């Protein structure tokens, strides 16, 4: 080895050593801050910032991997069609993070989890939503959810077979609240099963049901969302309102009806023409009335213990469709 | 009961002494515990000195912050996991931190105040400095983060490529 090349090697080693010292003195400073501070700091860091933070230095890559902290209101596991591979893949949304391209096989999922562990293992989620019909095996859900602390586990099921898997999964999460979202119209046998499962959320946006079915569903469901309510009469509509108003448990129903049904209801409340904000008639108060230039009216009414929201309503347009949301708390559903 | 006119002498790690009102020190869990442990008569004026492991310059900044926040409610409200917002720093606190930006070693000052807030157990100050640092890095590029946090990239190209590959799950 020539003297010049040896000298070059020595210089390289010295430069590397200096770099390390410089790095040590600068990063030690932040990473030597109290754990409680670093814990609080990581709580406020969004997913995309975590990804960038772990690229800054080894110490921060480790901090992100080890922090096991962070709270995100909502997480969701579902599948989608990936054009590039011409295959269905899984996606995971957490906060501002959208993880895609996840294989739904055990091996493929494991590969994702290995990397995911280094990004946000140990975070807490307010609600974790699983579209169970999209997931090939409940094991994938188990493996993923072991990485989180979950306040509420929401499982969406669109078929009887998936309902059975949801029934098996829920008891494995005794520490979090459970929410079963049923997206298929159950037959009488399935209804018997559902009644035993506690509070249910019916998301039946592809279905029309009768008022009698709605009343039945409300007896064991906190939320019933349907596309259209069939064979509605004023008396049936009033019955739905009375039932929701009288129930001490949170109850909410959302559906579309013909404008003539909404008009009958308003007339029964004593409003023959479009009311104004603040109008009161008997037990009904108009909390808000928005009149659009194209004739549409949006109403927020208070009747007994109910909030009633009517949207897309037009006077004297009998067959036109308006949406109604009725709840004994402020409605969480956006009326359609 | 806290007597607002009562004074406490704090001795710093670099040998200085600062006398402050109990109205300020009541926000420090560490100082209040030290006073309780002394079992002195609350009416004793001034109280015996409390040694704090904070240098004089940093303690002055802490006292400046405590003076502004002397009337803040106690105990400081416990934060839940859900409270992640960092955009609610009061205007005075923002200006207080902004003032350090004129100093060459602003990051060092921030770290020193954070450490002091932890040692003295001043939850409000710790919370504010945490939000300040979070706001500095949120939404920044990797290079900007390195600059703010005064970091040198110590990854090899292969390591960087590996992390980018892991991050790619979330970057499509």
For the domain that residue B72 is a member of, what is the CATH number?
Answer: 3.30.710.10
Rg over CA atoms, chain B: 20
The gap between the terminal CA atoms of chain B, to the nearest Å, is: 59
* Domain contains B2: no
At A126, give phi and psi (nearest 5°): -60, -55
In this structure, the answer to whether residues B92 and B146 fall within a common structural domain is no
Structure tokens at B7: 């004074």
Q: Which residues, numbered 1 to 30 in chain A, qualify as contacts with chain B under a Cβ-Cβ cut-off of 8 Å?
A: 19-20, 22-23, 26-27, 29-30
When pLDDT is averaged across residues A22-27 and rounded to a whole number, the result is 41
| Residue A2 clears pLDDT 60, i.e. is over it | no
Cα four-point dihedral sign B134, B139, B140, B145: positive
What is the per-residue pLDDT across B114-164, written as a single tens digit (0 to 9) for each?
A: 999 999 999 999 999 988 988 888 899 999 999 888 888 999 999 999 999
A99-108, A153-162, A168-177, A326-335: which has the minimum mean pLDDT? A326-335
Residue B74 contacts A where some CB pair is shorter than 8 Å: no
Mean pLDDT of the region A261-282? 89
Helix (H) or strand (E) holding A22, with range, is helix A3-31
Mean predicted lDDT score pLDDT of chain A: 85
* Rounded Cα distance, A228 and A226, in Å: 6
Three-state SS letters, A235-270 = HHHHHHHHHHHHCCCCCEEEEEEEHHHHHHHHHHCC
| Residue A87 included in any domain | yes
In a domain, B37, yes or no: yes
Q: Where are the beta strands (DSSP E) in chain A?
A: 71-82, 87-94, 97-102, 124-131, 149-157, 177-182, 200-210, 221-230, 252-258, 280-281, 284-291, 297-303, 306-313, 321-327
Kindly report the nearest CA distance between residue B105 and chain A, in angstroms. Answer: 12
Task: For residues B33 and B39, give the distance between their C-alpha atoms in angstroms, rounded to a whole number.
Answer: 10
Q: Is residue A34 part of a domain?
A: no
**B22: containing domain:** 7-138
How much is the pLDDT for A120?
84
Nearest-CA neighbor of A165 among A175, A154, A155?
A155
Q: Do B163 and A54 touch (CB under 8 A)?
A: yes
Q: Are residues B74 and B145 in the same domain?
A: no
- Is B102 contained in some domain? yes
Its pTM surpasses 0.80: no
For the packed helices A211-218 and A234-246, what is the interaxial angle rounded to 10 degrees? 10
Q: Does residue A290 lie in a domain region?
A: no
Q: Does B111 touch chain A (CB under 8 A)?
A: yes
pLDDT for A329 equals: 83
Q: What's the complex ipTM? A: 0.79
Claim to verify: residue B121 and residue B151 sit in the same structural domain: no
Is residue A258 assigned to a domain?
Answer: no
Q: Assess whether B109 and B44 both reside in one domain.
A: yes
Closest to A241 in 3D by CA, of A269, A275, A205: A269
Beta strands in chain B (DSSP E): 7-11, 17-21, 50-51
Hunting for tokens 């990397």 — which residue is that? A115
pLDDT at A201 over 80: yes
Q: Please work out, in degrees rounded to the nearest 5, the angle formed at the alpha carbon of residue B30 by the alpha carbons of B78 and B23.
A: 85
Chain B residues touching residue A116 (CB < 8 angstroms): 169
Name the pairing type of β-strands A252-258 and A321-327.
Answer: antiparallel
Please say if the pLDDT value at position A154 is more than 50: yes
Q: How many domains does chain B have?
A: 2
Name the residue among A33, A70, A71 with its Cβ closest to that of B114: A33
* B44 lies in the same domain as B94: yes
Domain assignment of residue A75, given as a range: 71-253
Same domain for B118 and B47, yes or no, is: yes
Reference A138, options A166, A116, A161, A159; nearest CA is: A166
Question: Higher-confidence residue: A61 or A293?
Answer: A61
Residue A39 has pLDDT above 60, yes or no: yes
Cβ-defined contact of A44 to B115 (cutoff 8 Å): no
Using an 8 Å CB-CB cutoff, list chain B residues near A45: 134, 137-138
- The better pLDDT of the pair A270, B100 is held by A270
3-state secondary structure (DSSP) of residue A335: coil
Number of domains in chain A: 1
What pLDDT is attached to residue B63?
95
Whether residues B165 and B86 fall in one domain: no
Residue A330 has pLDDT above 80, yes or no: no
- Examine residue B109 and state whether it is found in any structural domain, yes or no: yes
Q: Which residues, numbered 40 to 59 in chain A, qualify as contacts with chain B under a Cβ-Cβ cut-off of 8 Å? A: 40-41, 43-49, 51-59
For residue A289, give both structure tokens. Answer: 């009335």
Co-location of B128 and B152 in the same domain: no
Together in a domain, B73 and B157: no
**CB < 8 Å to B133, chain A:** 41
Q: Which residues of A268-303 are buried (b: 16+ CB within 10 A; e: fewer)?
A: ebebeebbeeebeeeebbbeebeeeeeeebbbbbeb
Residue B102 pLDDT: 59
What pLDDT was estimated at residue B44?
Answer: 56
Question: Would A54 be classed as within a structural domain?
Answer: no
Task: Using the predicted structure, report yes or no on whether residue A21 has a pLDDT greater than 90.
Answer: no
B145 & B92 share domain: no
Contacts of A96 in chain B (CB under 8 A): none
HSE-up of residue A200 (Cα within 13 Å, Cβ side): 31
Instruction: Judge if B168 and B125 occupy the same domain.
Output: no
- Rounded alpha-carbon distances, angstroms, from residue B74 to B21, B27, B124: 16, 7, 10
Query: For each of chain B's 172 residues, which pLDDT tens digit applies?
Result: 555 567 888 999 998 999 998 889 889 999 988 888 877 665 555 666 788 899 999 999 999 999 999 988 888 877 766 666 677 889 999 999 888 765 557 778 888 899 999 999 999 999 999 889 888 888 999 999 998 888 889 999 999 999 999 999 997 5
pLDDT at A24 over 50: no
Does B156 share its domain with B78? no
């Amino acid at each position: 080895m020539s003297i010049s090349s040896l000298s070059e090697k020595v210089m390289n080693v010295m430069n590397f050593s200096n770099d390390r010292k410089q790095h040590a003195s600068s990063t030690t400073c932040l990473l030597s801050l109290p754990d409680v501070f670093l814990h609080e700091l990581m709580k406020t860091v969004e997913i995309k910032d975590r990804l960038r933070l772990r690229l800054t230095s080894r110490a921060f890559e480790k901090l992100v991997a080890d922090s096991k902290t962070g709270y995100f209101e909502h997480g969701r596991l579902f599948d989608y069609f990936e054009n590039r591979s011409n295959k269905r893949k899984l996606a995971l949304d957490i906060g501002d993070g959208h993880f895609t391209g996840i294989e739904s096989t055990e091996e493929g999922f494991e590969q994702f989890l290995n990397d995911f562990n280094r990004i946000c293992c140990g975070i807490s989620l307010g609600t974790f939503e699983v579209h169970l019909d999209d997931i090939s095996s409940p094991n994938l859900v188990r493996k993923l959810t072991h990485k989180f602390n979950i306040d509420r586990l929401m499982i969406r099921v669109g078929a009887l077979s998936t309902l059975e898997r949801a029934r098996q999964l829920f008891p494995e999460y005794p520490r979090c609240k459970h929410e079963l979202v049923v997206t298929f119209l159950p037959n009488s046998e399935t209804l018997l099963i559902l009644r035993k499962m506690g509070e249910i959320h019916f998301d039946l946006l592809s279905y029309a049901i009768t008022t009698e079915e709605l009343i039945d569903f409300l007896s064991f469901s906190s939320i019933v969302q349907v596309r259209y309510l069939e064979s509605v009469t004023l008396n049936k509509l009033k019955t739905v309102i009375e039932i929701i108003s009288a129930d001490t448990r949170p109850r909410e129903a959302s559906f579309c009806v013909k404008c003539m049904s909404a008009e009958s209801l308003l007339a029964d409340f004593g409003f023959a023409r479009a009311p104004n904000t603040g109008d009161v008639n008997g037990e009904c108060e108009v909390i808000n009335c928005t009149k659009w230039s194209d004739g549409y009216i949006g109403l927020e009414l208070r009747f007994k213990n109910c909030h009633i929201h009517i949207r897309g309503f037009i006077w004297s347009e009998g067959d036109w469709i308006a949406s109604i949301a009725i709840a004994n708390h402020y409605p969480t559903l956006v009326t359609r | 009961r806290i007597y607002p006119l009562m004074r406490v002498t704090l001795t710093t790690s670099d040998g200085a002494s600062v006398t402050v009102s109990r109205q300020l020190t009541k926000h420090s869990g560490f100082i209040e515990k030290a006073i309780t442990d002394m079992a002195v008569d609350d009416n004793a004026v001034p109280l015996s000195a409390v040694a704090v492991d904070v240098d004089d310059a940093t303690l002055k900044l802490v006292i400046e912050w405590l003076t502004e926040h002397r009337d803040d409610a106690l105990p400081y409200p416990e934060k839940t996991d859900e409270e992640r917002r960092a955009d609610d720093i009061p205007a005075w606190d923002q200006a207080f931190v902004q003032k350090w930006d004129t100093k060459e070693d602003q990051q060092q000052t921030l770290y020193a105040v954070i450490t002091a807030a932890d040692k003295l157990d001043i939850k409000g100050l710790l919370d504010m400095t945490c939000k300040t640092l979070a706001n500095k890095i949120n939404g920044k590029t990797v290079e900007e983060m390195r600059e703010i946090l005064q970091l040198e990239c110590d990854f090899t190209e292969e390591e960087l490529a590996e992390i980018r590959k892991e991050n790619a799950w979330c970057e499509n």
